[in-house]
Structure 1
Amino acid sequence: MNQQQRLKLIEKQQRAYETGTIEFINQQWVFFDEETEEASLLDHYLHQEIDVLRSKVWNKGFLIEGARIQCGKEIFELKDRETIRIRKQLIYSLERLLDELQDEAFFYFLTTLNSLQFSIHDCIYCYNHLNFLNTNESAGGVNFLIFDNEEEICSIQHHFDYGTTRNDRFEFTLNSGKRTVIEKIS
């Protein structure tokens, strides 16, 4: 599995976007999240990937100054009360952890998380102990992750031992008491 295939799996996750409408209020563009009903300045998302809904089709581009979207070489202006969606950013320590996982461990982790009705974008906390270790040498420890899908909480302990073999063990515990353990040794 190459990096592009991994990115596709992450992009296809549920709750990967904040969707809402934009309005021009007091000489500023404001984004209203349809789920949380929170308002934020659109400028906060400058240079991020944004999709605009036009004629029932999502047009992908990057937000640039002046409430404009750059789609390749084409640039177009946003309209008042237009629907947009903004790709959510993963927590940095989670991104680094996913990068460290070998393909099979990455795939098993993601599919198990999804089977429990959580998305990678539901992560609200990630302590990645691997960030503090030299991964060129033998390494071992535990990473702690917490996910919230607004219905349940999932706490994950990732026990790892990277020596002559690589051992990844994930212990998923839901607030309901349900537990799932997966282990990948390579």
Structure 2
Amino acid sequence: MSQQQRTKLMNRQTRAFTEGTVENINQQWIFFDDETDEACSIEDYVESVIEVYRGGRWQQGVVEEEGKILLHREITFLRENEPIRIRKKLLYSFERLLEELNDDSFFQFITTLNSLDFSIYDCIYSYNQLTFLRTVPNQSGVNFFTFDNENQICLVQHHFSYGKKDHDRFEFTLNTGKRIVIEKVNSQ
């Protein structure tokens, strides 16, 4: 699996965006979240991926300062009451884990999570033990993740052992009691 395939799988995740509209109030661009009705400055999202609804379709760009967006390699401005979507950020420790997983484990983890109707963007808590073991030659431990898709909760334990053989075991437990366990062993 190439980096491009990983990126494609991550970009297809549900609930990857916070949707809302923007308004220019007192010469400051304010983002209004459709779901929570919360307001914040668009400046809080500088350098974030944004999608604007123009020409009957979503167009992807990057938030710049002062209400500017980089869209199709051109700097343009936000428009009053324009529908926008801002890509959510992953929790840092969870994002590091996804980067460190080998391709097979990465794919199995994400597709299993998706099959349970959860997205990587539903992660609300992350503990990555691997972060503390980077310099250790034989690494083993457990990572913990909590996902909330607003209908259910999913707890994931990631048991790992990396040395002569890499071993990943993911235990998914839903609040309904449903459990799924997947294991991946790879020789180095």
User: What TM-score do the two structures reach when normalised by structure 2?
Assistant: 0.95
* Structure 2 residue aligned with 1:152: 152
User: Could you tell me whether the CA contact under 8 Å between 2:62 and 2:70 is conserved in 1?
Assistant: yes
Give the Cα–Cα distance (whole angstroms) in 1 for the partners of residues 125 and 169 of structure 2.
Answer: 19
| Alignment of 1:17 onto 2:14 | no
Task: Tell me the CA shift for residue 69 of structure 1.
Answer: 1.0
Give the Cα–Cα distance (whole angstroms) in 1 for the partners of residues 122 and 92 of structure 2.
Answer: 14
* Structure 2 residue aligned with 1:120: 120
- Superposition RMSD on alpha carbons, in Å? 1.2
Task: Tell me the CA shift for residue 72 of structure 1.
Answer: 4.5
Give the Cα–Cα distance (whole angstroms) in 1 for the partners of residues 137 and 161 of structure 2.
Answer: 11
Aligned partner letter, 1:163: G
Aligned partner letter, 1:153: I
Of residues 166-175 and 67-76 in structure 1, the stretch that sits farther from structure 2 once superposed is 67-76
Unpaired stretches in structure 1, ≥5 consecutive residues: none
Give the Cα–Cα distance (whole angstroms) in 2 for the partners of residues 6 and 169 of structure 1.
Answer: 20
Task: Tell me the CA shift for residue 166 of structure 1.
Answer: 0.7
SS in 2 for 1:118: coil
Give the Cα–Cα distance (whole angstroms) in 2 for the partners of residues 120 and 73 of structure 1.
Answer: 29
Aligned partner letter, 1:6: R
Give the Cα–Cα distance (whole angstroms) in 1 for the partners of residues 95 and 136 of structure 2.
Answer: 19
Give the Cα–Cα distance (whole angstroms) in 1 for the partners of residues 134 and 67 of structure 2.
Answer: 43
User: Could you tell me whether the CA contact under 8 Å between 2:29 and 2:66 is conserved in 1?
Assistant: no
User: What TM-score do the two structures reach when normalised by structure 1?
Assistant: 0.96
Of residues 48-57 and 63-72 in structure 1, the stretch that sits farther from structure 2 once superposed is 63-72
Q: Which runs of 4+ in 1 moved over 4 A?
A: none
State how many pairs are aligned. 186
Unpaired stretches in structure 2, ≥5 consecutive residues: none
User: Could you tell me whether the CA contact under 8 Å between 2:128 and 2:143 is conserved in 1?
Assistant: yes
SS in 2 for 1:4: helix
